[in-house]
Structure 1
Amino acid sequence: IRESDGVAVNVSDGEILDAMRLLGRTQGVFGEPAGVTGTAGVKKALELGLISPESTVVSIVTGNGLKDVESGIRAAGEPLVVPPDMDALLSAFAEAGIAP
């Protein structure tokens, strides 16, 4: 970190769960907690002004959320259970207030 004039931030479990939700809602990525910790750090560094909003940043998600479904449920709530039918899916989305 010193050699590259970098910075490090720490993130809480809550910030990691927030990053899980953020990635799911904005990118369609279901990452497990360890895999999204870097994204949580990028978000916090942005909020702290350590990264400019105009910067281009890459955050690699290294683990699939299916490795830790319990944390996914803690982050986003129980999944919708929908029969394999497009009309049923669209109806469930409408009931949940989700725009397709």
Structure 2
Amino acid sequence: VGVPRNAEKALMAIRESGGLTVNVTDEEIMAAQQLLGRTCGVFGEPAGVTGTAGVKKLCEAGKIGRDDTVVSVVTGNGLKDVANAIAACGDPITIPSDMNRLLAAFAEKGIQAEGV
């Protein structure tokens, strides 16, 4: 965020909780958007998935351990910014409402559908 809504309050909360901050790039944010869609079926807008991008970065840096509990709130739906989603993920799959065709389209793209 270029200009945080209440930077002093945020910094105070970080200091009081013993928390930390991490910067993420636009590329990391768009990768988080793809990750959430592929692994959780969550379509978040870039601003809404920024926290998830930070969690991923902190995991990779070893700041968050494998057994730690973390909550990442996705605050905005991807439909708010479809253009960036298409730029990051490609055009959506368009198929008739038929489960066999859906599964075939998933298989073509290497997407695994579990529990179907």
What per-residue deviation string (whole Å, max 9, x for no partner) do you get for residues 12-54 of structure 1? 0000001001101111100000000000011111112221121
**Which runs of no fewer than 5 residues in structure 1 stay unpaired?**
none
If the length of structure 1 is used for normalisation, what is the TM-score? 0.90
Gaps of 5+ in 2: 1-13
**CA distance in structure 1 between the aligned counterparts of 2:102 and 2:42, rounded to whole angstroms:** 19
- The residue type paired with residue 13 of structure 1 is D
Partner of 2:75: 62
Q: 2:110 and 2:50 mapped to 1: Cα distance?
A: 28
Aligned length: 100
Question: What is the CA-CA distance between 1:71 and the residue it aligns to?
Answer: 1.4
For the Cα contact (< 8 Å) 1:17–1:74, is it kept in 2? no
% same residue: 65
RMSD: 1.3
- The structure with the largest alpha-carbon Rg is 2
Runs of 4+ in 1 over 3 A off after TM superposition: none
Letter in 2 for 1:59: S
Higher RCO (CA < 8 A, seq sep 6+): 1
- Residues in 1 aligned to 2:19 and 2:108: alpha-carbon distance in whole angstroms: 46
**1:47 alignment partner in structure 2:** 60
Residue in structure 2 matched with residue 31 of structure 1 by the alignment: 44
Report the CA distance between 1:86 and its aligned residue: 2.4
Measured after TM superposition, the shift of residue 82 of structure 1 is 0.5
